[in-house]
Structure 1
């Protein structure tokens, strides 16, 4: 499982959950199971852990865990409340989310998440869904592509990029990563090509998987199912996700200022445990390059 994904800030995540041995916990991004297995070490026979993941490969990892305290749920975390209820759970003691793409997904050419390999334009975390990166690039209107690259990738030349894609697909369908990179290569700033392509791929991936919408739905539901003093531990890897998590923890909403009651008391469901986001140590970053962009935020249900 460690070959699937090396869990980032493992000890910090476990410490943040403040695990009770007989508590009920949820790892909503099971992946390779690294965080889940560490949570299970801290649970007694009376404790429970639910692992969520929509990926078939993650399910294969979950099938290797033989622990009566563990239950795997093959679903997107945006359906957290629904599936917990199906298992008779309405309140939990802690929730962990390690957002983004697993190392395994990045390192599998057929999944289409990485610019390092040629392969199909896929990027689906749930391989049973219809929409893939190929449909986005070949069928979306130019204005929609412009919006996606600007908002989700924060690409500075998003309009020019959208126009280049529409012109390229007018000649022939863009079916592979190689064909896509060839179509946009001249637009990448010299010396910063890899960062540019990463931003472009991030934007497409977020659109394909509705990542920000799913995150918003998950965060709202997490506060509904957390017990009083229950912990929410969320690790993000880019500013769009981190901003959403920060705003929801600090303000109880994603945009605007925190609301107050008639007495001036803030109306929000969480209080932040970490004044600033926790970042990985220099040693961990040296051992696991993915940790360099990770930001960990910990909150407690009021």
Structure 2
């Protein structure tokens, strides 16, 4: 039986199937109102983990979620990410792991989300130009000050995870991963061994000839959609996986969340497990 909840860091309980807010339009008008309705519907349907980032509109996505959901329902966790900033000179986005930049983004994130503390903060990318100890040390200082509850990382290797865990307690990892994209399987295995939450981004399989046809065949057997089968596979693949599929449409949101009710048979799971070898 697939478990439906997970405790991030051992104490922050969430439903395993979350929501990624990156795709929500934030410009004023009908598109923004539709985004507000999608975010509210996600919570109505039981989502307790919503993922955003400073990168998503330079904080506009965070502001949108606060507009839609504040005051937040009991048990709702909005996790955000820092470490990518827009250059004041060129206007281009790039890695910025300087302690002062990370602190500024966290403080802005708290203001935009209308919270005093970000319960789960993730470093969007490790900045190779700044010593890792300085980046993580800055986040740890914010944690000691009470502005950050727990710390996670994104797009890291097993070696980077190991080095990071010598400096801070890492409670989550957000890497690209899906039934057809298992490059980070070793990272997932390390997370599972340490009971670290693994949040796959781009969790729904893309179009790959042959492999997607097999996913569709499994979906047809179960009376489900290929998207639901892909998410159900993730939920059953490891108990530490917390998928965060994103969409700007309520019908797609409802389809995604219904994946929690899809039960793959051992034969279907074996068929899907072998897809990675064909991609």
TM-score by length of 1: 0.29
Whichever of the two has the greater Rg, that structure is: 1
TM-score by length of 2: 0.30
